[in-house]
Structure 1
Amino acid sequence: MVSGAERAGLPVPALKELFAHIPTSVAVITIASGAGRYGVTVGTLSVLSLEPALVAFALKADSGLLPHLHTGRAAGINVLADGQSDVALRFATASIDRFNSTRWCEEHSLPRIDDGVAWLAVRVEDRIVLGDHTLVTARVEHGETSRLTPLLHWRRDFHSPNPIASAI
């Protein structure tokens, strides 16, 4: 079977290499559901609109968080800071208690990871299946920022923005 990437003229390994050269912010999406807390690392956070205030992120089709993110659901978006790669890796790892070794608090009834660059409380607007991911759009209801430097993902590793600029 030929994949969509190969039909486009790029074999999947070449496409992965190409996409690895596009730097992205690193965020953890969190929710509270009953007595449980859930979270997952994403590298696809985008600002969609100012009026209304909308953001989007994508989750893999097999993400354990996806079944909980229905329309109207509140979620937290934790944009990680430089030095929080351990948090990013923890929330990207399945079958562990991701909150156990993470400093966090509850805000707006959502888990908020401490010491991030930004934190947003959002409400899911829509879910759109696109390829092997689901794009989730969400309306921003609250947000806060810090003066910390963001954590970036680039060339399959975590970086501070300053080393990226000097490596180009």
Structure 2
Amino acid sequence: METVSPPSLADDFRDVMSGVCTPVAVVTTMDGDRPHGTTVSAFASLSLEPPMVLAALDRRSELLALVRAHGRFGLNVLASGQQALATRFARKGADKFQGVPWRTEHGLPRLPGVAGWLACRVHRLVDGGDHVIALGLVDAAQRLAVSPLTYHARAFGTHLPVTGERC
């Protein structure tokens, strides 16, 4: 039985979540020699031993079907200034990579200049409402010394540390 939230709760939930600063990434995979990707803001580190991440993918997406079939995905953590890539990969359609430079790394599409790169094998796919959570075992990781792209209050930005505060 499907649970449907009342419209006011859905709007209130969306409003609360817009106040949470999230990183922005493009999840990628291959279909033969053709790259596919989609923008996500719901991803996180899950485990250090073994290294794992999670990424939430729309259950109706073509990308999810490919990740399910091939069992692998790349996570391109976008850098500050890459909001055009975030917007491009958030739209529907099969031509998202048209005119976008990329290369294959660990058999997965990698975008240049990203703040972070992870190559992952699917450990498990877990139902999560209108999304499916891909739990990925990390096979490769690389970070560039650039600020990440974030999304907060329905706008792109980046993280700035509070002066004098460090963890």
TM-score computed with the length of structure 2 as normaliser: 0.89
Residue in 2 aligned with 1:77? 75
Per-residue displacement from partner, 1:62-109 (whole Å, max 9, x unpaired)?
212111112761211100000000000110111151111322111111
Could you say what secondary structure the match of 1:13 adopts?
A: helix
Is the Cα–Cα contact under 8 Å of residues 36 and 94 in structure 2 kept in the other structure? no
Could you say what secondary structure the match of 1:11 adopts?
A: helix
Residue in 1 aligned with 2:61? 63
Residue in 2 aligned with 1:3? 4
Aligned Cα root-mean-square deviation (Å)? 2.2
1:139 counterpart = 2:112: no
Is the Cα–Cα contact under 8 Å of residues 76 and 111 in structure 1 kept in the other structure? yes
Taking the aligned partners of 1:55 and 1:2, their CA distance within structure 2 comes to 28
Is the Cα–Cα contact under 8 Å of residues 71 and 125 in structure 1 kept in the other structure? no
- State the percentage of identical aligned residues: 32
The number of residue pairs the alignment matches comes to: 162
Q: 1:71 to 1:34 in 2, by over 3 A?
A: closer
Taking the aligned partners of 2:158 and 2:150, their CA distance within structure 1 comes to 6
Q: What's the CA shift for 1:29? A: 0.6
Residue in 1 aligned with 2:46? 48
Taking the aligned partners of 1:147 and 1:90, their CA distance within structure 2 comes to 24
Residue in 2 aligned with 1:106? 104
Could you say what secondary structure the match of 1:161 adopts?
A: coil
